[in-house]
A = this chain, B = another copy of it.
Amino acid sequence: MTAIETVSEQLCFGGVQGFYRHRSEACACDMSFAVYTPPQAGDGTRLPVVTYLAGLTCTPETFTIKAGAQRVAAALGLVLVMPDTSPRVDLPGADHAYDFGSAASFYLDATQAPWAQHYRMESYLTSELPEIIAAHFPIDPRRRGIMGHSMGGHGALTLHLKHPQLYRSCSAFAPVVAPTQVPWGDKAFRGYLGDDRAAWARHDACELVKSGASEAEILIDQGEADQFLTRELQPERFEQAAEQAGQPYRLRRQPGYDHSYYFIQTFVEDHLRHHAQALGL
């Protein structure tokens, strides 16, 4: 069993908000993550678990501090897992831009040097971290959901669509749905995956949805005052792809809301209830 180090644990809504660190084999470096364990834990109970993938510039602390999610998780009996947004390694260029390198992994396995050695977030999130969580926290490995925001919404959609038996429920706030078609994704995929656009398609939710592998209804909230709406997000692309593929989904356009955690905290309860219902709580 991989050892994890407890950085801190604090009581919150009767459960435990913890920060942890461990040596990651997938990423070949130390990785940090946060977990909220609700008060229903104990006596061998195995609870459903929802992993939240944050957006560009974020850390495991972002959602933990800003979303107000613990209250809902405590009420529903959900474990929450907040991974980091990238490996934290001192690679050349890793800290030159907010949208590439550190805190901007796009949750895929990079194939290009120097990123390929460490930026293996898909492997980390679909194999190593789930095993660590199952070994150290009171979760039911058959009831896992995934959600995210912006770049993390892209991560949640793609990891669910590629691994629907692992992450059985999915939702997203203001996700990047078509990274192969927008500037953020173009820059990241070029850097992490090289120029072969066929490889890019394997990390694009609008492409992946065509497989029909997911039977879950995907919930997406999108603020209509989001500053990235038309350039980076373009939810209508997912709408169209999901319609064509017969993918169940619910896209809610929220008038007046922007890209911030004031938007996320407003709707986080709906999302966690969506997961709780899908995971049989």
Contact of A265 among B12, B225, B262 (CB under 8 A): B12
Chain B residue at minimal CB-CB distance from A264: B12
Chain B residue at minimal CB-CB distance from A256: B11
**Chain B residues, CB < 8 A from A68:** 68, 71, 265
Instruction: List chain A positions with a Cβ less than 8 A from chain B.
Output: 10-14, 17, 65-66, 68, 70-71, 223, 225, 256-258, 260-263, 265-266
Q: By DSSP majority rule, is chain A's interface helix, strand, loop, or mixed? A: mixed
Give Cα A65–Cα B261 distance, bound, in whole angstroms.
8
**Chain B residues, CB < 8 A from A225:** 11
Contact of A263 among B11, B257, B262 (CB under 8 A): B11
- For residue A6, give the distance in angstroms from its CB to the closest CB of chain B: 15
Give Cα A94–Cα B155 distance, bound, in whole angstroms.
44
- For residue A247, give the distance in angstroms from its CB to the closest CB of chain B: 29
Report whether A258 and B10 are in contact in the complex, using a CB–CB cutoff of 8 Å.
Answer: yes
20 more A-B residue pairs beyond the given contacts A11-B223, A65-B261, A68-B68, with a C-beta to C-beta distance below 8 A = A10-B260, A10-B262, A10-B263, A11-B262, A11-B263, A11-B266, A12-B262, A12-B263, A12-B265, A12-B266, A13-B265, A14-B266, A17-B262, A65-B65, A66-B66, A68-B265, A70-B262, A70-B265, A71-B265, A71-B266
**Chain B residues, CB < 8 A from A10:** 258, 260, 262-263
- For residue A52, give the distance in angstroms from its CB to the closest CB of chain B: 16
Chain B residue at minimal CB-CB distance from A12: B262
Chain B residue at minimal CB-CB distance from A13: B266
**Chain B residues, CB < 8 A from A266:** 11-14, 71
Shortest Cβ-Cβ A-B pairs, 6 listed: A68-B68, A12-B262, A11-B256, A10-B262, A13-B266, A11-B257
**Chain B residues, CB < 8 A from A258:** 10-11
**Chain B residues, CB < 8 A from A13:** 265-266
**Chain B residues, CB < 8 A from A11:** 223, 225, 256-258, 262-263, 266
Chain B residue at minimal CB-CB distance from A65: B66
Chain B residue at minimal CB-CB distance from A269: B71
